[in-house]
A and B are shown apart, each in its own frame.
Chain A
Amino acid sequence: MVKFKIDNKVVEAKEGEYLLDVARRYGFSIPTLCHHEALGSDGRCRVCVVEVKTRWRKRIVTSCLFPVSKDIEEVYTASEDVKLVRRTVLELLLARCPESDVIRYMAAKYGITEPRYKKDTDKGKCILCNMCVRTCENIVGVSAIGIIGKGPEKKISPPFREASDACIGCGACVAVCPTGHIFMEDKDGIRLIWRKRFELAVCPKCGRYHAPVEQLEFISKKTNVPMEELLVCTNCR
């Protein structure tokens, strides 16, 4: 266990623990946009920055990835530099995704109501946090989507911008997306997502459409639970 200060409050933490987790445990509020408890982070959004003072230097780090070590003396969650980076990131994201309520709300907290830049019109609400991709790969285990392109033109998409064979239509990406960018629609027994149409299974007990047949088949194969059981919706099981 090591001891150091966060904004003047003495805290204790295990070596190697991420600063974000420590700070949250002690009740500090640090915004995040690409971190998820089940997924961790890969350091894309940079809103979670804090300033860390060690024996040698002071620097800005992303708290979601910075491991606690003996060298830390003090952490500042709202220094001028921290606020500058957060404010800038949120203003840049608001210019990218002016339609996103989540970003608008967070930006307003840092005094930004209108970005000083020309608003993008082609990015939708996607901030490229990559959480959908990581969910698909690490939680669902299918890797139906990925990041393509580079720089400002990076984009989340199924490979080759076509409907992906791998996609099972589970919608986990929709659930994890912080801004609600991913389009999914269930209509007349059909689910539309990532340019692909899925036939929805009908529950033999209540007659309700619930999950895509492909998703149930995927689960059945993985878990060896027979299809007949899975066709029954979770409410009726």
Chain B
Amino acid sequence: MSVSIQRLEEIKKDFLSKQKVFQKTIRVCCGTGCISSGALKVLEKLRTALKTEGLDEKVKVIETGCHGFCERGPIFVFGENDIFYQMVGKRNIDADVSALIETVKSDKIAQNLLYPDPNDKTKKFVATREIPFYSGQQKIVLHLNGYIDPESIEDYIARGGYVALHKALQMKPEEVIDWIDRSGLRGRGGGGFRTGRKWRSCREAHGSPKYIVANGDEGDPGAFMDRSIMEGNPHAILEGMIIGGYAIGSNDGYIYVRDEYPLAVKRLTKAIEDARRLGLLGDNIFGTGFRFDIRIFRGGGAFVCGESTALMQSLEGKIGEPKAKYIHTVERGLWDKPTNLNNVETWACVPLIINNGWEWFANIGTKNSTGTKVFSLVGKVNNTGLIEVPMGLTLREIIFNLGGGIQKGRKFKAVQTGGPSGGCIPAEYLDTPVDFDTLTELGSMMGSGGMIVMDERNCMVDVARYFLNFLVEESCGKCVPCREGVKRMYEIVDRICNGEGREGDIEHLEELGKAVKLGSLCGLGQSAPNPVLSTIRYFREEYEEHIKHKKCRAGVCKPLITIKINEKCNGCMVCARNCPVSCISGEKQKPHVIDQSKCIKCQICYDVCRFDAVTIE
């Protein structure tokens, strides 16, 4: 028997009525971040404590996906009054569990588990919605992340899940595509291609069968937006894909998941099994005769496998090398059949658009970049984590409002967006509204949404070297400009960092960078010079200082710096005690000196000195 909308309604009612017995809910983050900071252990103790107190029948504990604030994990949120507890169990697990029980029993708030304002330690936030990191967000894709149990299809259905699928199946396929097109949705995986247009080309392409693929490869180091969706709300991706399959005329979907994401694989697998059990996948979905099924493929783990053609090669069981895309994959993709690939976040937007209408989506964000975007905000900001904001929010709002400003009150220098082959944007563009086009104009890109914040202690030449090094490692090596060119760019930048820069190096990098961009086969090579070209564009004087004056103003490039102790030193001896190679000497209460021949420039003395007596030159 096929699934019906009445059946969904029943499941929802049934689920909600079962909830009525609970007086309280605690939402426990069981995302990868919180698990690695010990959430499961606290959870176990909490469950035991609830049982001992005879509260286990009254309190519902939901194991949710990532709440975004992983740095502050483990995170426990009380459902009704929205009390946000962070770093639970980090200091004293038993005391913290008792505090949780206290809150359950008497709503007593444990001050030490609240989130303190990073700029004013005396201030603490109680509710999630008061914390700027959360209040500045607009969660639509992640709206259920942190609320539902990702392993329960009933929970998803109780919150309106799979209604969009039913609605889409009552529409004509062309109409569904039209909605997606009019919503303005653009691909969240990097390129920002119009999703509706892609679907239409795939629908109109000749050849069958046709395939639907979700890209969950997420190879950007440090990025975890896609992981968080796959782990936190897997059904949203499935629902989007089934709708896409109907619109495009495909019966077979694949989710390509990075192999390093076992939890995502587990939850997606469970989600697929549950959807099959209820008839939301399989034959005759909602009695319409439409058949669709989804399989999971675990990727090999190379960064380049996220690129569309390499991903398809890899799915076919071949080496994940990109191919020329002069004939688009919507015409000839997987096994040379029409294939529609979208990023998992793109897929998760689809049910929202069908449920709320394309106008609703088109009204969020900017004219040419509609909707929201999930970013992973990391680096030298106070609040790091995963955020979802409307397109068009400025960099300043993201970094200083949500991010809470720069750590230790230091000065902002640049923000690197777009993953390893994105670019660095300097302070003068902090008021730029963030969308696909503005970032490209600034010589960077949206990429999949990585944002790394840098301060005055980051050397921009060193930053360029860091990303080049990653790209040299990750170049598949198929085409000459990328394989050989990026390696040579790395060599030049490395030389500059080592104080061996030469007149003409900057121009050489610009020329080589341009050639690599123009000549490379796939997006990796075509964007690999970005970190170098954008830092030259905005921080040329830092390159010049390295080359001409052998100076690194940020004090990062070790061959270019000397650590000295000045007359402010009062001989407190803290530096001497902390120096790992014991090269600081001097008597108590008298200025100390550093033996330059032994100094390894680790800068520990600089960090520990409380009298500004250590200088980096």
Binding site for B on A (CB under 8 A): 42-47, 49, 60-62, 65-67, 81, 84-85, 87-89, 92-93, 95-96, 116-118, 127-128, 147, 149-154
For window 241-255 of chain B, which residues contact chain A by CB distance below 8 Å?
Answer: none
- Is B583 an interface residue when CB atoms closer than 8 A count as contact? no
Instruction: Out of A62, A85, A152, name the residue touching B475 (CB < 8 Å).
Output: A152
CA distance A128 to B508 in the complex (A): 25
B512 on interface, CB distance cutoff 8 Å: yes
30 pairs across A/B with beta carbons < 8 Å?
A42-B323, A43-B323, A43-B478, A43-B479, A43-B521, A44-B480, A44-B521, A46-B519, A47-B480, A49-B518, A62-B324, A66-B324, A81-B518, A84-B511, A85-B519, A88-B512, A89-B481, A89-B515, A92-B484, A92-B488, A117-B491, A150-B475, A150-B476, A150-B477, A151-B472, A151-B473, A151-B483, A152-B475, A152-B487, A153-B477
A116 to B502, CA, bound (A): 12
Q: Are A84 and B514 in contact (CB under 8 A)?
A: yes
**Chain A residues near B472 (CB, 8 Å)?**
151-152
Closest partner residue, chain B, to A116 (CB atom):
B508
Q: Which 10 A-B pairs have the closest CB atoms?
A: A88-B515, A92-B484, A154-B477, A85-B519, A151-B477, A65-B324, A151-B475, A60-B518, A46-B519, A43-B324
A95–B521 CB distance below 8 A? no
**Contact: A49 with B477, CB < 8 Å?**
no
By the criterion CB–CB under 8 Å, are A93 and B480 in contact?
A: yes
- Whether B480 pairs with A45 at a CB distance below 8 angstroms is yes
Residues of A within 8 A of B319 (CB): 147
Contact B477 A152 (CB under 8 A): yes
Minimum CB distance partner of B516 in chain A: A88
Q: A66-B326, A118-B491, A151-B474 are in contact. Are A60 and B483 (CB under 8 A)?
A: no
Nearest CB of B to A150, in Å = 5
Q: How far is A87 from B480 in the complex, measured between Cα atoms in Å?
A: 12
Counted as pairs of residues, one from A and one from B, with CB atoms less than 8 Å apart, the total is 97
- Chain A residue with minimal CB distance to B485? A92
Q: How far is the CB of A212 from chain B (nearest CB, A)?
A: 29
Query: Which residue from chain A places its CB closest to the CB of B475 in the assembled complex?
Result: A151
CB distance from A172 to the nearest CB of B (A): 22
- Contact status A128-B477, CB under 8 Å: yes
Q: Is B302 an interface residue, CB under 8 A from the partner?
A: yes
Instruction: Tell me the bound Cα distance from A106 to B491 in angstroms.
Output: 25
B1 within 8 A of A: no
Closest to A18 in B: B326
Q: Inside 8 A of A49's CB, which chain B residues have their CB?
A: 518-519
Q: Which residues of chain A are within 8 angstroms of B515 by Cβ–Cβ distance?
A: 84-85, 87-89
B506 → A minimal CB distance (Å): 14
- Which B residues between 454 and 475 are near A, CB-CB below 8 angstroms? 472-475
Which residues on A sit within 8 Å (CB–CB) of B473? 151
Chain B residues with CB under 8 A of A42: 323-324, 478
Query: Least Cβ distance of B480 to chain A in Å?
Result: 5
Within 8 A of A (CB), among B316-332: 319, 323-324, 326-327
Chain A contacts for B483, CB-based, 8 A: 128, 151-152, 154
How far apart sit A222 and B464, CA to CA, in the bound complex (Å)? 55
Q: What residue of chain B has the Cβ atom nearest to residue A66's Cβ?
A: B326
Q: Tell which of A46, A67, A117 touches B480, judged by Cβ atoms closer than 8 Å.
A: A46
A151 to B319, CA, bound (A): 13
Measured CB to CB, the closest approach of chain B to A39, in angstroms, equals: 15
Decide: A117 near B324, CB < 8 A? Known: A92-B480, A92-B481. no
Interface set of B (CB-CB < 8 Å, partner A): 302, 319, 323-324, 326-327, 472-481, 483-485, 487-488, 491, 508, 511-512, 514-516, 518-521
Within the complex, the shortest CB–CB distance from A112 to chain B, in Å, comes to 13
- Determine the main DSSP class of A at the interface with B: mixed
**A88 is contacted by which of B324, B326, B475, B481 (Cβ under 8 Å)?**
B481
**Chain A proximity of B289: nearest CB distance (Å):** 36
Q: Verify A89–B474 contact, CB threshold 8 A.
A: no
Cross-chain contact A60 with B519 (CB below 8 angstroms): yes
Rounded to whole Å, the gap between the CB of B454 and the closest CB of chain A is: 27
Q: Which residues of B contact A67 (CB under 8 A)?
A: 326-327
C-alpha gap A190/B520 in the complex (Å): 42
Given contact pairs A43-B521, A88-B515, A93-B480, a sample of 19 additional A-B residue pairs in the complex whose CB atoms are under 8 Å apart: A44-B521, A45-B480, A60-B518, A60-B519, A84-B515, A85-B519, A88-B485, A88-B511, A89-B481, A92-B485, A95-B488, A116-B508, A127-B480, A128-B480, A150-B476, A151-B483, A152-B475, A153-B477, A154-B483
Assuming A42-B323, A65-B324, A92-B485, is B518 touching A85 (CB within 8 A)?
yes
A81–B327 CA distance with the chains assembled, in angstroms: 23
Minimum C-beta distance from A195 to chain B (A): 22
Q: Chain B contacts of A87 at CB under 8 A?
A: 515
B326 contacts which chain A residues (CB < 8 A)?
A: 61, 65-67
Determine the distance from Cα of A149 to Cα of B481 in the docked complex, in whole angstroms.
Answer: 18
What separation, in Å, do the CA atoms of A54 and B201 have in the docked complex? 19
Given contacts A150-B302, A152-B475, contact A95 B518 (CB under 8 A): no
B413 smallest CB distance to A (angstroms): 30
The closest CB in chain B to the CB of A65 belongs to B324
Within the assembled complex, what's the spacing in Å between the Cα atoms of A67 and B512?
A: 28
Min CB–CB distance B484 → chain A (angstroms): 4
Most B CB contacts (10 A, CB to CB) among A66, A81, A89, A151 go to A151
CA distance in complex: A8, B474 (Å): 41
A58 to B287, CA, bound (A): 49
Alpha-carbon distance between A87 and B516 when the two chains are bound, in angstroms = 11
Assess A44 versus B478: contact at CB under 8 Å? Given A95-B488, A96-B484, A154-B483: yes
* Bound complex: CA A62 to CA B484 (Å): 18
The CA of A124 and the CA of B327, in the complex, are separated in Å by: 35
Please, which residues of chain B bring their CB within 8 A of the CB of A117? 488, 491
Residues of B within 8 A of A147 (CB): 319
Query: Chain A contacts of B491 at CB under 8 A?
Result: 117-118
Bound Cα distance A118, B491 (Å): 9
Chain B residues within 8 Å of A127, by CB: 480
Determine whether the beta carbon of A89 is less than 8 Å from that of B519: yes
Contact of B479 with A95 in the complex, beta carbons under 8 Å:
no
Measured CA separation A89–B478 after assembly (Å): 13
What's the nearest-Cβ distance from chain B to residue A31, in Å? 13
Across the interface, which residues of A come within 8 angstroms of B485, CB to CB?
Answer: 88, 92
Cα–Cα, bound, A216→B351 (Å)? 63
Docked CA distance A46–B327 (Å): 18
Q: Which residues of B contact A46 (CB under 8 A)?
A: 479-481, 519-521
CB-CB < 8 A to B480: which residues of A? Answer: 44-47, 89, 92-93, 127-128
Interfacial chain A residues near B512, Cβ < 8 Å: 88
By beta carbon, the residue of chain B nearest A152 is B487
Q: Which of B323, B324, B485, B519: most chain A Cβ within 10 A?
A: B519
Shortest Cβ gap from A50 to chain B (Å): 12
B519: chain A residues within 8 A (beta carbon):
46, 49, 60, 85, 88-89
Chain B nearest CB: distance from A87 CB in Å? 8
Least Cβ distance of A167 to chain B in Å?
20
Q: Shortest CB–CB separation between residue B309 and chain A, in angstroms?
A: 11
